[in-house]
Amino acid sequence: MSQYYFDHAASAPRRDEVADAMAPWQRGVVGNPSGSHRAARDARRAVEEARDEVAAFVGAKPGGVIFTGGGTESCDLAIAGVTSHHRRTHDTSEILISRVEHHAVSDAAEKMARDHDDVSVGYIDVDADGVVDLDSLMSRLSDDTAIVSVMAANNETGVRQPLDGVSALSKSIIPGGVITHTDAIAAASWVNLATVTATTDMISICAHKIGGPVNSGALVLRGDVTLEAVIPGGGQERGRRGGTVDVAAAVGLAAAVRLTMNELADVNDRVLDLQEKLVAAVRLIPGCQVSGLGALRVSGTVHVTFDDLASDELLFLLDQEGVCASAAASCSSGAASPSHVLAAMGVSHERARGSLRLSMGAETTEGEVDAVIAILSGVVYRLRAEA
């Protein structure tokens, strides 16, 4: 049976170029980059070359790149690291995040508030398309705000956020300005981060969403941001992330970043056409609603909801037909669960229970899109016939 991989937003296919770049650093002697001998220097050179490439990808200076164990850790370091530093000079600290953030951000923020009485979390509302309401941000900014975190694109719906507006408010409303962070993990395959995040202080990225290895990511600081390490360890990464730097992981991230940057324009053009085709087709299915249709979205993601179908059943039958897709929100058991993103957008509970995300990538073909359209239509028809 053919397999149609439409779950790039969960994890993108590993690129051969990435595996090739990592291979020399995955067997035999690999020096500890903190050491002083030849093998250590070789490893350190590879890490620093990787750092240069990641910096260029985000449009920042190499000194701002902190290699981490993945996207979740990057977001956690941004939120916890900046808030911990803020607490040193403030009686109270508030973390402002949008209501549609990935749990990597919201759980990190909520844990800080749980652990410290002087820390609170404020939420920025979104509109029906899932775009942050800048008035809501403006009304919540205060002298206590430690950090504002708004994602570049939503991992469930693909909806992009007005980061320039977020930065402009964060820098101008409060004297001295508030530090901004963006979780750019879902956006990294689809937008030029150097321009889109140009006004944002901190950017989290993750390798496996762009064809690299899992457990590899970076938090990139633009300009002058001070944060406290979550993992102090041995002072690596200029004291901002302890633990031996994983050479293979850094090299893999750099290779994925290089491929993404080189192919960005072409892939975007091509996948945008596929997205338009997929959206037009699913809108013909009765009762199918495309999420965030009124907003700017990344090219790879099409998120839809049905008010009379269950994600569980859709995904099961799609899987039987070889389509790998996702409900985009799941609980710890792995089962589909109602999404906080859709709730924040005001989507009804019934509709949220029938959500489906189809996410494409660089290697997705038009033939695959045609096949998935046919399979999805058939599955929906069958479920309604059996109901």
Partner 1 sequence: MSGGVDSSVADVDDARRVAQMLGIDHHVFNYTEEFERHVVAPFIEAYAAGRSPNPCIECNRHIKFDLLFERAARLGFDAVATGHHARVMARDGVHFLIRGADDQKDQSYVLGYLAENQLATLLLPIGAMNKSDVRRHAERLGLRTWDKPDSQDVCFIEASKGREVFLRQRIDLTPAVIVDAVSGEEIGATLGAELMTVGQRRGVLPARDGERRFVSKVDLHAGRVEVGRLEDILINEIALDASSLSFSHAELVDGSAVLAQWSAHGVAQRATLRHGAQWRLELDVPARPVAAGQSVVFYRLSEPTIVEGAAIVAVS
- x/- letters, 318..347, toward partner 1 (CB under 8 A): -xx----------xxxxxxx----------
Distance CA 180, CA 167 (A): 7
Per rule CB under 8 A, is residue 381 in the interface with partner 1?
Answer: no
- x/- letters, 191..230, toward partner 1 (CB under 8 A): ----------------------------------------
C-alpha separations of 311 from 216, 328, 380 in Å: 30, 10, 11
Q: Which stretch binds partner 1 (CB under 8 A): 149-157, 170-178, 247-255, 311-319?
A: 311-319
Per rule CB under 8 A, is residue 373 in the interface with partner 1?
Answer: no
Cα 136 from chain centroid (whole Å): 23
Using alpha carbons only, what angle is made at residue 65 by residues 59 and 68, rounded to the nearest 5 degrees?
A: 130
Of 91, 117, 224, 386, the one binding partner 1 (CB under 8 A) is: 386
Of 313, 322, 343, 370, the one binding partner 1 (CB under 8 A) is: 313
Closer CB to partner 1, residue 284 or residue 387? Answer: 387
- 283 Cβ partners below 8 Å, 6+ apart? 290
By annotation, the residues acting in catalysis are 331
Residue 314 Cβ, how far from partner 1 at the closest point, in Å?
10
Per rule CB under 8 A, is residue 32 in the interface with partner 1?
Answer: no
Per rule CB under 8 A, is residue 3 in the interface with partner 1?
Answer: no
Of 316, 348, 374, 381, the one binding partner 1 (CB under 8 A) is: 316
CA nearest 380: which of 276, 283, 294? 283
Are 247 and 29 spatial neighbours (Cβ–Cβ below 8 Å)?
no
Residue 330 Cβ, how far from partner 1 at the closest point, in Å?
8
Distance CA 296, CA 272 (A): 12
Distance CA 304, CA 98 (A): 21
Residue 81: HSE in the Cβ half-sphere, 13 Å Cα cutoff: 27
Residue 280 Cβ, how far from partner 1 at the closest point, in Å?
28
Task: Kindly report the backbone phi and psi dihedral angles of residue 125, in degrees, each rounded to the nearest multiple of 5, phi listed first.
Answer: -70, 160
Per rule CB under 8 A, is residue 36 in the interface with partner 1?
Answer: no
The CA-based dihedral angle spanning residues 82, 179, 74, 262, taken in that order and rounded to the nearest 10 degrees: -160
Residue 267 Cβ, how far from partner 1 at the closest point, in Å?
32
Interface residue list for partner 1 (CB under 8 A): 312-313, 316-317, 319-320, 331-337, 383, 386-387
